[in-house]
Structure formats: C-alpha cells, structure tokens
Structure 1
Amino acid sequence: MFKITALPTDEVRTLQQGGPDDYGATPEHAVSTGAGNPCRHCLQNIPEGAPMLVLAHRPFAATHPYAETGPIFLCAEPCERYEGDKLPEILTSSPDYLIKGYGQDDRIVYGTGAITPTDQIGAKVKDIFDRPDVAYIHVRSARNNCYQARIDRG
C-alpha cells in the first residue's frame, strides 16, 4: 500500500502569493493550454484558459548532486491539495512515467529507476518499496523528466 504525496499547501500558497521559487525568482504567470499543464498540488490538469504559475521546483530540502531542480506548474488560484492512494488525474494522462526510489539521505537508490507504463505503476511501486533501502519514490515525466509527485509508504 502507498500514498501519493502532493506539494504541501503552505508552500503552494506562498508561491501563489508571489513568494520565490527554488531559484529565488517570482513564479511566472501563464495561461493553461489544458492537457500537459499538471498542477503539483491538486494533481489535476489545469483547465484550458485558467491562470497558472510556472516555476523552478526542487523536491528536496537541501542542495546536493542528486537534488534535481526543474520546471513545474501550479494553479494560480488556490486549489485543494490531493490526498489519496489512487493514481490522480495527472498520473493517468500519459502512457508512462519515470519512477525511482530514494533513500533516507535523499539520494537515488540505484537500480530502482524505470520508465513504467501507467497501468503498471502500482506493481512497480510495490517492487521498489520491497527494498528496505528505499524511503520514498518520485514520479517524473518519462519524456521531460519534470517532477510530478512523491509516493510514500502507506
């Protein structure tokens, strides 16, 4: 059993109010084109025509060689944080995703990374969590490597 962990609401609200991203820049304002603009807080695609934010995000507390930073989207207006253990909308809208495990030290656990078909994510997550050295998993775009969500043990 596992749970999908979206970005924390307090961090998202700070960004929605103009707080700096992980590069110290103000998030860019844009208009969603619909599919392909997934919000990392509600874990839904931002509707076409809706305002959104584009910003740099590093899903790690500290910088280190494995602390990847990349672009993400957020709803520009407050949205509800996704809570659940089923795959959210943004993790069912692509044929596959890159998933990989990380240890307690926030380093990639080698041998866990795999491009995984969407319908096999649950089974692959179980396989990765069978390793005791894996603390959590990141889900990323298989094509652009953009961070999507975190998966924690349930």
Structure 2
Amino acid sequence: MGFQLSGLPIEVFTPLFGQPDAVLRRQNVLRLVAEPGFPCRLSLRDATPGEPVLLLSYPHLTGPTPYRATGPIFVRETARETAVFTNMVPPEMRPRLYSVRGYNDAGIMLDADVAAGAALESLIERLFENPQIAYLHLHHARRGCYACRADRA
C-alpha cells in the first residue's frame, strides 16, 4: 500500500514572508535565524543554519473533535512550494524519533505508535492497514511538534 507525506500548504504562510518583525510579533510570529535541526513544515527539509525561519503556532487538527490541536512549527521564508513525498521519508526526517497518530474521518484517534525516522515507512504502512484510519499525523516525539501529514497514495 502506498502513502504520501505532505508539508503544510505554502499559501497559508506566504503572506507572512518578508513582513517586518513588528508586524509578525502582533500575529504571535517570531522570525529566527535557523540553527541546526530547525525542520520546515512546508518543505519537510531542515533549514540551513543562518537561514531566516518563522516560528508560529499552527492548528494542525481542526474540526469538531476532542483531538483538536495547535502547536509550534518552523517555516522557512525561502520555501517556494509544499513538499510531497510518495512512498518515501525525506532524508532529514530519518534521524529523528516520531509519534505517528492515525485518525478517522471524524478526527478521532484510532491508533498511534512511535518509530525512528528510518522505520517510518513500515509503521505508516502498518497503520494504514486499518481501513478506518483516514490519515496520519506525524509529530516530533521529543518536543511533540507537528511534522507532517500522511495519506494513502
């Protein structure tokens, strides 16, 4: 069974790109200088150290569910498109530990597990064996931040 990992939709964030810091702060957004390990939720790649990134809160699970969730994410201001990876995990994701959560169409969590990035493919495939799971959310296990979404391909 195939799967697709997707970054967040870039069009949500482009209005923030290039805004003055004072304007960003009024929206609870911080511009930072990337350090090693700042993962971009659009490109699903790590920002280059020294690159400008935005740190903001993003509602990654919305709708009428008790699992509604919002959390901090990094976005590279130089990102130009939403990343999509089919049947593969990007190299930058492989060294990290992830919590993978499977939800049904109503946004109710049906299953979850933790895996190293190098083992994500098999975990994603195993969770998608349950036909009631509509999509998966991947989170960085140590800090709990949203990483990306997985859908069947």
TM-score interval, smaller chain: 0.7 to 0.9
Identity %: 25
Deviating beyond 6 angstroms after TM superposition, the runs of 4 or more aligned structure 1 residues are none
120-129 or 144-153, larger mean C-alpha shift: 120-129
Equivalent residue, structure 2, for 1:130: 129
SS in structure 2 of the partner of residue 139 of structure 1: strand
| Cα deviation code 1:80-116 (max 9, x no counterpart) | 321221212342131x21101011011211xx21111
Equivalent AA in structure 1 for residue 139 of structure 2: R
| Cα deviation code 1:66-87 (max 9, x no counterpart) | 1111110001234332122121
Higher strand share: 2
CA–CA distance in 2 between the matches of 1:16 and 1:61? 24
CA–CA distance in 1 between the matches of 2:144 and 2:64? 18
Gaps of 5+ in 1: none
CA–CA distance in 2 between the matches of 1:150 and 1:52? 21
Q: Using the TM superposition, give the Cα deviation of residue 120 of structure 1 relative to its aligned residue in structure 2, in angstroms.
A: 1.8
**1:6-85 to 2 correspondence within 5 Å?**
6-16=7-17, 18=19, 25-35=27-37, 37-62=38-63, 64-85=65-86
Equivalent AA in structure 1 for residue 69 of structure 2: E
**Over aligned residue pairs, what C-alpha RMSD do you find?**
2.1
CA–CA distance in 2 between the matches of 1:17 and 1:113? 38
CA–CA distance in 1 between the matches of 2:76 and 2:39? 9
CA–CA distance in 2 between the matches of 1:127 and 1:30? 37
116-125 or 47-56, larger mean C-alpha shift: 116-125
What is the TM-score of this pair, normalised by structure 2? 0.86
Gaps of 5+ in 2: none
Q: Using the TM superposition, give the Cα deviation of residue 14 of structure 1 relative to its aligned residue in structure 2, in angstroms.
A: 2.9
141-150 or 113-122, larger mean C-alpha shift: 113-122
Q: Using the TM superposition, give the Cα deviation of residue 63 of structure 1 relative to its aligned residue in structure 2, in angstroms.
A: 6.0
What is the TM-score of this pair, normalised by structure 1? 0.86
CA–CA distance in 1 between the matches of 2:72 and 2:64? 16
Q: Using the TM superposition, give the Cα deviation of residue 61 of structure 1 relative to its aligned residue in structure 2, in angstroms.
A: 3.6
| Cα deviation code 1:124-154 (max 9, x no counterpart) | 1111111111000011011111000000000
Residues matched between the structures, number: 147
Is the contact made by 1:5 and 1:151 (CA closer than 8 Å) also made in structure 2? yes
